[in-house]
């Protein structure tokens, strides 16, 4: 299930407007609303060129960034952020709860596989 969020709506507007990289940076830097800034960062990093300023913002705001990616069904971009090393075991559990409550099956499966691969399930015994 993919939900349309305000951030996703703003990202769509940015894509439709064919905003230049310079204008996007200016909009990102001048934005006072968190949803506009997050949309600019997601669009700028994943859509316009992977600039460090956007990645730094996304890493500092990892919870809202990952929540947005989960809600909009963008698992490949979720994996890309995870490769940057920002996911801890606690954050992964929190993201799993978000994915499950949103009904985002693809993100839930991906997060479960990530948890198994990186952190395991120390509170569970699956031995037979």
Residue 50: pLDDT over 70: no
Mean pLDDT of all residues in the chain? Answer: 85
> Measured between alpha carbons, how far is residue 99 from residues 3, 15, 43 in Å?
11, 26, 21
Sign of the Cα pseudo-torsion (111, 114, 118, 124, in order): positive
Question: Residue 48 CB: number of other CB atoms within 10 A?
Answer: 17
Q: How many residues does the chain have?
A: 128
> How many Cα atoms are found within 13 Å in the side-chain-facing hemisphere of 84?
17
pLDDT digits (tens, 9 = 90+) for 60-115: 999 999 999 999 899 999 999 999 888 888 999 999 999 999 999 999 999 999 98
The pLDDT score that the predictor gives to residue 127 is 57
Q: Any idea what DSSP says for residue 47?
A: I
Percentage above 90 pLDDT, the chain:
39
SS3 of 19, please?
coil
């Amino acid at each position: 299930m993919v939900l349309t969020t305000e951030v996703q709506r703003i990202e769509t507007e940015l894509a439709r407007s064919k905003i230049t990289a310079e204008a996007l940076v200016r909009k990102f830097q001048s934005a006072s609303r968190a949803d506009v800034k997050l949309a600019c960062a997601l669009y700028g990093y994943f859509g316009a060129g992977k600039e460090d300023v956007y990645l730094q913002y996304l890493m500092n705001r990892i919870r809202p960034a990952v929540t947005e990616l989960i809600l909009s069904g963008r698992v490949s971009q979720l994996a890309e952020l995870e490769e940057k090393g920002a996911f801890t075991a606690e954050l992964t559990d929190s993201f799993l709860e978000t994915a499950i409550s949103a009904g985002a099956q693809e993100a839930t499966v991906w997060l479960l596989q990530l948890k198994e691969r990186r952190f395991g399930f120390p509170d569970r015994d699956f031995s037979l």
